[in-house]
């Protein structure tokens, strides 16, 4: 007998027999001739889309094609933060939908992704920032999302080791979303893959899309390194590679691909119990369950497909870190890495049809795609299944740029590197 359902009992049973009864987390599927839906991109969003298509919309003839190993994209190289602390009406319901899906994810997919709602605290350092966070916190509350405004002394009680007394930009307070937190990123990919696989979805790794077969303006399938795969509908969930794949269908997108670096330190006994973002520099941080400090800052700021960044950003981020928490000076950075961000022109995503019939797009996640994973999957599945936007994703239309209905949280305009 093999152990397929994960539980404490199955773990115990396997412990007694040398862990020999586990089945592969997902089948190594080979492509069939055609599917109802082919999802391009075996990252978090693509796998979640496949899962919800099968689970919620009953569409099970689904393939996820991935050019390399599953989860090789941003799902495998982010800083694991989940939150729904947005300002604009186009965004809040969507991210809150995502947060609710996170809250029930593990039971839903029978996989412990370690959803840890330890809180996300955005610090502010001047009146202007306080006012902006007040506006945002109130927007969240009006949308039914939890938010609290902490003053400096409340922040100090929570994180006494921040620099309160010698700071260039003293901490005045922070906006706390207690329900925000972190999730073990790789586990999200594996968990969705396993759950989708069990519902019959084919997950096809090492299968790169090299072309789109389009006849009379309608997509009929994808050419891949493993042959042609027919599809009634094709959904693109390629994050940083969105423009490349869309170009195969002759589309230009309001997206630039940028590199975002992230960093982890050596493991330490835990002392940071929430996610903290510094408001006076480019720095945010949390501590993983293994003890490593996971932190990051701004994107490198230039178009890149290289999955690696440069040193000025490392220095800038560490400078921010020292300004915020000077006790980390002797803690060592262990590893830095880079992911490709599909930076959209207004900093918000796109989940929409494209000008090519039956070709659908899920892109423009900037550096915030991880937290969106469940809702992105659900809304994209909804769009693919029903051909209309999910109610929480109605703002994420491709034509919003032409209409001017941009969703620009930061107010930086059509400059992806500034979002």
Interface of this chain with other proteins, residues 87 to 106, rule: CB under 8 A: 89, 92-93, 103-104, 106
Rule CB under 8 A: say whether 400 interacts with other proteins: yes
Question: What does R_g of the chain's alpha carbons equal in angstroms?
Answer: 21
Interaction of residue 164 with other proteins, rule CB under 8 A = no
Residue 418, judged by CB atoms within 10 A of its CB (0-12, 13-18, 19+), counts as middle
Q: Which residue, 257 or 277, is less far from other proteins as judged by CB?
A: 257
Asked whether 362 and 377 are in contact (CB, 8 A), the reply is no
CA atoms within 13 A on the CB side of 381: 27
Question: Distance between CA atoms of 351 and 43, rounded to whole angstroms?
Answer: 16
The binder of other proteins chosen from 30, 126, 153, 225 (CB under 8 A):
126
Cα 195 from Cα 236, distance rounded (Å) = 20
Helix (H) or strand (E) holding 12: helix 8-16
State in angstroms the smallest separation of the CB of 241 from other proteins. 8
- Residue 413 binds to other proteins (criterion: CB under 8 A): yes
The whole-angstrom separation of Cα 265 and Cα 199 is 38
Query: Taking CB under 8 A as the rule, does residue 331 contact other proteins?
Result: yes
Contacts to other proteins from residues 11-40, by CB under 8 A? 11-12, 14-16, 18-20, 22-28
| Interface mask toward other proteins for 165-204; x: CB under 8 A | -xxxx--------------x-xx--xx-------------
Out of 34, 110, 210, 394, the residue judged to bind other proteins by CB under 8 A: 110
Distance CA 19, CA 155 (A): 46
Distance CA(250)–CA(245), nearest Å, equals: 9
Single out the residue of 34, 210, 336, 394 in contact with other proteins (rule: CB under 8 A). 336
Nearer to other proteins, 30 or 247 (CB): 247
- Least distance (Å) between residue 153 CB and other proteins: 16
Per CB under 8 A, does 114 bind other proteins?
yes
Among 211, 326, 355, 391, the residue binding other proteins under the rule CB under 8 A is 326
Asked if 312 touches other proteins (CB under 8 A), the answer is yes
397 φ/ψ sector (left φ>0, alpha ψ -120 to 50, else beta): beta
Report whether 43 contacts 71 (CB < 8 A): yes
CB 35 within 8 A of CB 59: no
Stretch that binds other proteins, among 208-216, 227-235, 254-262, 372-380 (CB under 8 A): 254-262
**Contact pick of 32, 56, 141, 388 for other proteins (by CB under 8 A):** 141
- Angle at CA of residue 297, ends 292 and 303, nearest 5°: 125
Backbone angles phi, psi at 17, to 5 degrees: -125, 35
Measured distance CA(246)–CA(290) in Å, rounded:
39
Binding test (CB under 8 A) with other proteins, winner from 112, 151, 250, 387: 112
Least Cβ distance, residue 128 to other proteins (angstroms)? 6
Scan residues 355-384 and list those touching other proteins (CB under 8 A). Answer: none
* Residue whose structure tokens are 């996170």: 102
Q: Nearest distance from residue 253's CB to other proteins, in Å? A: 7
Contact pick of 38, 50, 101, 139 for other proteins (by CB under 8 A): 139
Are the C-beta atoms of 169 and 125 separated by less than 8 Å?
A: yes
- Tell me the site size for other proteins, rule CB under 8 A: 144
Contact region with other proteins (CB under 8 A), list: 37-45, 55-63, 214-222, 304-312: 304-312
**Which residue in the set 49, 177, 257, 376 belongs to the binding site for other proteins (CB under 8 A)?**
257
Residue 376 φ/ψ, nearest 5 degrees: -60, -45
């Amino acid at each position: 007998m093999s152990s397929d359902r994960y539980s404490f009992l199955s773990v115990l049973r396997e412990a007694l027999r040398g862990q020999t009864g586990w089945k592969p987390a997902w089948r190594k599927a080979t492509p069939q001739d055609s599917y109802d839906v082919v999802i391009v991109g075996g990252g978090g969003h693509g796998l979640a889309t496949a899962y919800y298509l099968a689970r919620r919309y009953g569409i099970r003839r689904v393939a996820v094609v991935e050019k390399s190993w599953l989860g090789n994209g941003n799902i495998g190289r982010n800083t694991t933060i989940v939150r729904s602390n947005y300002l604009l009406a186009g965004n809040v319901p969507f991210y809150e939908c995502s947060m609710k899906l996170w809250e029930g994810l593990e039971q839903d997919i029978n996989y412990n992704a370690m959803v840890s709602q330890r809180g996300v605290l955005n610090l502010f350092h001047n009146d202007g920032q306080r006012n902006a966070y007040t506006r945002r916190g109130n927007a969240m509350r009006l949308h039914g999302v939890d938010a609290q405004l902490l003053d400096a002394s409340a922040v100090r009680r929570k994180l006494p080791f921040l620099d309160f007394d010698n700071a260039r930009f003293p901490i005045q307070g922070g906006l706390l979303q207690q329900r925000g937190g972190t999730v073990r990123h790789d586990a999200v990919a594996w968990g969705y893959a396993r759950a989708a696989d069990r519902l019959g979805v084919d997950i096809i790794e090492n299968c790169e899309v090299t072309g789109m077969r389009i006849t009379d303006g309608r997509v009929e399938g994808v050419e891949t390194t493993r042959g042609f795969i027919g599809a009634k509908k094709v959904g693109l969930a390629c994050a940083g590679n969105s423009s490349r794949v869309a170009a195969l269908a002759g589309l230009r997108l309001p997206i630039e691909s940028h590199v975002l670096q992230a960093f982890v330190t050596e493991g330490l006994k835990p002392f940071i119990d929430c996610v903290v973002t510094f408001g006076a520099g480019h720095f945010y941080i949390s501590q993983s369950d293994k003890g490593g400090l996971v932190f990051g800052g701004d994107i490198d700021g230039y178009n890149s497909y290289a999955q690696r960044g440069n040193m000025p950003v490392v220095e800038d981020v560490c400078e921010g870190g020292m300004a915020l928490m000077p006790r980390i000076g002797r803690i060592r950075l262990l590893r830095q890495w880079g992911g490709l961000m599909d930076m959209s022109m207004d900093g918000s995503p796109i989940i929409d049809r494209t000008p090519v019939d039956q070709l659908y797009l899920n892109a423009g996640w900037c550096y915030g795609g991880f937290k969106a994973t469940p809702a992105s999957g659900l809304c994209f599945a909804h769009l693919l299944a029903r051909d209309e936007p999910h109610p929480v994703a109605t703002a994420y239309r491709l034509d919003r740029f032409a209409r001017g209905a941009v969703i620009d949280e930061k107010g930086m305009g059509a400059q992806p590197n500034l979002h």
